[in-house]
């Protein structure tokens, strides 16, 4: 039983198989009930009356009563409508049996015809026929509710995935302009000075742009590529600050073959250069260590007075959001600033 409004080839096939199983059950139970023998006989009353009416009742319940009352939590009205539907179904089955099956049995099954009550209005039989349709309506209703719940869960997961992708795309888009704003200003100043380093600087920026535009589209990239990108970035910043920065960078551990979210480490290094150096001399230390599937990163930098006034910047706010989206419950991030020292310590379970 499919959700409301969804009619597909797969849906039709599933419904046909369901009703074929129901017919098989009716064919077996016809002889089983009276002779205690497992025989296969599809009674004429099932083909002419029971099966068509049961199908009709089932779909009226699924696509009329449930949307009108059950889904709207008007349960009293739904129960009343279901009772009326069942009684109507019992009357219809009795009508087809009396008007079609009895004349047929009179010609083809005289023995059974003699056993039949020839009166149409037999309240007990009509009530029994009504109740016999109830299990099928209950089964299809449960199937429908289960499918609805599954579809809602599936839709929720798809919405969450779309939201995740949108947020990640937005955060990445915020990282790239923020970084290139700083580096392009430096390139401009080098060009104005007609420095020989302008060409080398432009080439490194080109490599960084290529990495950010084409190598970071995947959800995860090789940790070795991310480290190489960090090294390239730091070389650009070294050229930018010349002899005004004392930089130390090292990494250790089995980094080969490990995967990490792209650009997740860059904002910590970028923040150190932006807020720890600027126009003053300063120092930066970056250390990355990997032990099995756990990554440790520690970035320390000098912390002048102007950095306290400007805060930690947009980059760290974005990376915290990205960490929460990409590694929920699998990371720790500690930021501290004291006595002229800013420290960022990150741990990720890769």
CATH code of the domain in which 217 resides: 3.30.565.10
Higher pLDDT, 195 or 68: 68
In this prediction the pTM is 0.52
Residue 65 pLDDT greater than 70, yes or no: yes
78 Rama sector, left if φ>0, alpha if ψ -120 to 50, beta otherwise: alpha
Higher pLDDT, 96 or 328: 328
Token look-up 């990495």 returns 211
Whether 26 is in a domain gets the answer: yes
Provide mean pLDDT across the span 61-73.
87
pLDDT at 264: 85
Please write the tens of the pLDDT for every residue from 12-62: 666 666 666 665 555 555 544 444 555 555 566 566 677 788 888 888 888
Whether 174 is in a domain gets the answer: no
Backbone phi, then psi, for 34, in 5-degree steps?
-105, -25
Residues 200 and 150 in one domain: no
Burial state string for 6-42 with b = 16 or more CB within 10 A and e = fewer than 16 = eeeeeeeeebeebeeebeeebbeebeeeeeeeeeeee
Supply the DSSP string of 103-130, one letter for each residue. HHHHHH-HHHHHHS---S--HHHHHHHH
pLDDT at 5: 42
Provide mean pLDDT across the span 112-135.
76
Whether 345 is in a domain gets the answer: yes
Q: Using the Cα atoms of residue 41, residue 47, residue 49 and residue 50 in order, give the sign of their dihedral.
A: positive
Residues 13 and 125 in one domain: yes
Residues 343 and 203 in one domain: yes
Higher pLDDT, 212 or 309: 212
Q: What is the DSSP letter of 340?
A: T
Residues 147 and 228 in one domain: no
Rounded distance between C-alpha atoms, residue 104 and residue 121, angstroms: 19
Residues 153 and 216 in one domain: no
Residues 98 and 212 in one domain: no
pLDDT at 95: 82
Rounded to the nearest integer, the mean pLDDT of the chain is 77
Q: Which domain holds residue 135?
A: 9-157
Contact 320, 254 (CB under 8 A): no
Which among 42-56, 75-89, 153-167, 174-188 has the top mean pLDDT?
75-89
Residues 128 and 244 in one domain: no
Rounded distance between C-alpha atoms, residue 67 and residue 74, angstroms: 10
Residues 226 and 344 in one domain: yes
Domain boundary among 133, 157, 181: 157
Domain count, the chain: 2
Whether 263 is in a domain gets the answer: yes
Helix (H, G, I), strand (E, B) or coil at 72: coil
Contact 39, 31 (CB under 8 A): yes
Domain boundary among 157, 187, 205: 157
pLDDT band at 334; cut points 50, 70, 90: very high
Rounded distance between C-alpha atoms, residue 203 and residue 76, angstroms: 75
pLDDT band at 212; cut points 50, 70, 90: confident
pLDDT at 4: 45
Q: What percent of the chain has pLDDT over 90?
A: 13
Structure-token pair, residue 122: 């037999």
The residue among 313, 307, 314, 275 whose CA lies nearest residue 172 is: 314
Domain boundary among 157, 184, 208: 157
Residues 143 and 236 in one domain: no
């Amino acid at each position: 039983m499919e959700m409301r409004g969804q009619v597909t080839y797969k849906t039709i096939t599933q419904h046909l198989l369901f009703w074929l199983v129901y017919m098989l059950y009716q064919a077996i139970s016809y002889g089983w009930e009276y002779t205690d023998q497992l025989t296969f006989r599809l009674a004429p009353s099932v083909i002419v009356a029971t099966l068509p009416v049961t199908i009709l009742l089932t779909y009226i319940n699924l696509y009329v009563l449930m949307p009108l009352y059950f889904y709207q939590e008007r349960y009293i009205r739904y129960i009343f409508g279901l009772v009326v539907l069942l009684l109507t179904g019992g009357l219809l089955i009795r009508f087809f049996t009396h008007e079609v099956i009895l004349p047929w049995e009179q010609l083809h099954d005289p023995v059974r015809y003699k056993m039949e009550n020839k009166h149409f209005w037999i309240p007990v039989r009509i009530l029994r026929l009504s109740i016999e349709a109830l299990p099928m309506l209950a089964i299809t209703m449960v199937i429908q509710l289960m499918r609805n719940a599954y579809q809602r869960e599936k839709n929720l997961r798809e919405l969450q995935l779309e939201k995740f992708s949108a947020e990640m795309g937005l955060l990445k888009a915020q990282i790239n302009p923020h970084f290139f704003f700083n580096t392009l200003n430096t390139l401009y100043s080098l060009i104005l000075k007609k420095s020989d380093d302008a060409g080398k600087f432009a080439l490194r920026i080109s490599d960084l742009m290529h990495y950010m535009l084409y190598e970071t589209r995947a959800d995860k990239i090789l940790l070795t590529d991310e480290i190489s990108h960090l090294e390239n970035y730091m070389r650009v910043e070294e050229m930018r600050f010349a002899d005004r920065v004392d930089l130390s960078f090292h990494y250790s551990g089995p980094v080969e073959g490990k995967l990490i979210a792209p650009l997740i480490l860059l904002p910590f290094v970028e923040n150190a250069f932006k807020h720890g150096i600027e126009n003053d001399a300063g120092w930066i230390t970056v250390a990355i260590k990997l032990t099995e599937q756990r990554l440790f990163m520690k970035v320390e930098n000098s912390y002048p007075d102007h950095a306290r006034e400007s805060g930690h910047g947009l980059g760290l706010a974005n990376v915290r959001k990205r960490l929460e989206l990409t590694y929920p419950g699998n990371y720790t991030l500690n930021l501290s600033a004291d006595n002229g020292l800013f420290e960022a310590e990150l741990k990720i379970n890769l």
